[in-house]
C-alpha cells in the first residue's frame, strides 16, 4: 500500500490507472477506522482493481462549536487497518493541501441538505458535498462507497452526483453495529461507560418501531411517538429529532408510503449520535 499526501501525485496515479483500463474503487473517511469503514473497504476490494482510501478530517463540514479539534485520530492504527483490507492507496492530505486558501468555492445541494442534520448543523452538508466533489476529482473513482449509517449524507451525495452529472457510481452499504446494536462510529470513543450503555437505546427504539411497522402499525406519527418514548426512557438522552422521511427526498412523511426511513439523532453528555432504519 502506498501512502500519498499530495493531490498532484494522487491525480497522476489515478490517471495512469484509468489509462491501463483499471477500475478504481474509493472509500472516503475521516479516519479512526472501525468495522463500518472496513466493510466499505472490503466491498471496494471485491469489486475493483484499485482501492483508494482517503483519511481527511474535513474542517468545512464542522460548525464553529463542533468537535473538529477533538475529533479522534489514529494515523498508525488506520494505516495498518487499510493495509489489512488490501487497499492500494491511502490518501491523507493535510488541511493546507485540500484548502490552500480560505475556501471560496462550495457545492450546495439544496433542500435535502436543509432538513434534519442540516437544520441542526447549518453548513454541514455544504462542507460534505464540497469535500466529496473535490475528492472525486482527485481520486477519479469509478465507484465510491458510503455507509447507510449516514443516511442523509448518502442522499446528499447521490443528488450531487446526479445534479452535476459526475461520472461516479455511488454504492451505499448497510450499517455495521456492535453486538448490542449500537451503530459503529468514530464518535463512540467519546462515550464513558454509562453513556455507552445508555446509547444502545437508539437501536432498541428503531427496532421496536420497525417491528410495529411490520406488524401493521403504518402511521408515521404513531411509530415516531413510540421510538421517541423509548429513547426518553434513558434520562441522559436528549432527543434532537425522531423523523420518518421519504428515502429519496428526505421530506417528512405524514401518510404511510412505500419507501420510508426512520431517523433519530440524540445527545448524550457532549456526544451527538445518529442512527436510522429502513421501515
Q: Which residues here bind ligand AMP, judged by CB under 6 A?
A: 29-30, 36-37, 39-40, 146-147, 149-150, 173, 175-176, 183-186
Residue 226 CB, nearest approach to ligand AMP (Å): 24
Considering 37, 124, 137, 142, which one is annotated as catalytic? 37
Kindly tell me which of 205 and 274 has the beta carbon lying closer to ligand AMP.
274
Residue 278 CB, nearest approach to ligand AMP (Å): 14
Asked if residue 27 lies in contact with residue 54, where contact means CB atoms within 8 angstroms, the answer is yes
Kindly tell me which of 147 and 220 has the beta carbon lying closer to ligand AMP.
147
* Residue of minimal Cβ distance to ligand AMP: 147
Q: Cell numbers at residue 251, please?
A: 421530506
Kindly tell me which of 39 and 226 has the beta carbon lying closer to ligand AMP.
39
Kindly tell me which of 67 and 232 has the beta carbon lying closer to ligand AMP.
67
Q: Is 37 one of the catalytic residues?
A: yes
Kindly tell me which of 36 and 220 has the beta carbon lying closer to ligand AMP.
36
Residue 23 CB, nearest approach to ligand AMP (Å): 19
Strand partners, 26: 52, 144
Q: Cell numbers at residue 183, please?
A: 451503530
Stretch (H or E) spanning 7: helix 7-19
**Largest interatomic CA distance in the chain:** 58
Residue 10 CB, nearest approach to ligand AMP (Å): 18
| Dihedral of the alpha carbons of 51, 52, 53, 54, in degrees to the nearest 10 | -170
Residue 168 CB, nearest approach to ligand AMP (Å): 14
The 8 Å CB, 24+ separation contacts for 230-237 are 230/201, 230/204, 230/205, 231/201, 231/202, 231/205, 231/264, 231/266, 233/201, 234/198, 234/201, 234/268, 236/194, 236/195, 236/198, 236/268, 236/269, 237/198, 237/201, 237/266, 237/267, 237/268
Q: List residues with catalytic annotation.
A: 37
Amino acid at each position: 500500500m502506498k501512502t500519498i499526501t499530495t493531490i498532484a501525485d494522487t491525480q497522476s496515479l489515478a490517471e495512469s490507472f484509468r489509462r491501463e483500463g483499471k477500475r478504481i474503487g474509493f472509500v472516503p473517511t475521516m479516519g479512526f477506522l472501525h468495522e463500518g469503514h472496513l466493510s466499505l473497504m472490503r466491498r471496494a476490494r471485491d469489486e475493483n482493481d484499485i482501492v483508494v482510501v482517503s483519511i481527511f478530517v474535513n474542517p468545512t463540514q464542522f460548525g464553529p462549536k463542533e468537535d473538529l479539534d477533538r475529533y479522534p485520530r489514529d494515523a498508525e492504527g488506520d494505516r495498518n487497518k487499510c493495509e489489512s483490507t488490501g487497499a492500494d492507496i491511502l490518501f491523507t492530505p493535510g488541511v493546507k493541501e485540500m484548502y490552500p486558501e480560505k475556501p471560496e468555492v462550495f457545492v450546495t445541494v439544496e433542500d435535502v441538505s436543509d432538513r434534519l442534520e442540516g437544520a441542526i448543523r447549518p453548513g454541514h452538508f455544504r462542507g460534505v458535498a464540497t469535500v466529496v466533489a473535490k475528492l472525486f476529482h482527485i481520486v477519479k473513482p469509478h465507484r465510491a462507497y458510503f455507509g447507510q449509517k449516514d443516511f442523509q449524507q448518502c442522499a446528499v451525495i447521490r443528488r450531487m452526483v446526479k445534479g452535476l452529472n459526475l461520472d461516479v457510481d455511488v454504492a451505499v452499504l448497510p450499517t455495521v453495529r456492535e453486538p448490542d446494536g449500537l451503530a459503529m462510529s468514530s464518535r463512540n470513543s467519546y462515550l464513558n461507560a454509562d453513556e455507552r450503555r445508555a446509547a444502545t437505546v437508539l437501536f432498541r427504539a428503531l427496532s421496536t418501531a420497525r417491528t410495529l411497522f411490520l406488524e401493521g402499525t403504518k402511521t408515521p406519527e404513531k411509530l415516531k411517538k413510540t421510538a421517541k418514548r423509548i429513547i426518553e426512557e434513558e434520562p441522559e438522552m436528549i432527543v434532537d429529532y425522531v423523523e420518518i422521511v421519504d428515502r429519496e427526498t428526505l421530506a417528512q412523511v405524514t401518510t404511510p408510503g412505500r419507501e420510508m426511513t426512520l431517523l433519530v439523532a440524540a445527545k448524550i453528555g457532549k456526544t451527538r449520535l445518529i442512527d436510522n432504519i429502513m421501515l
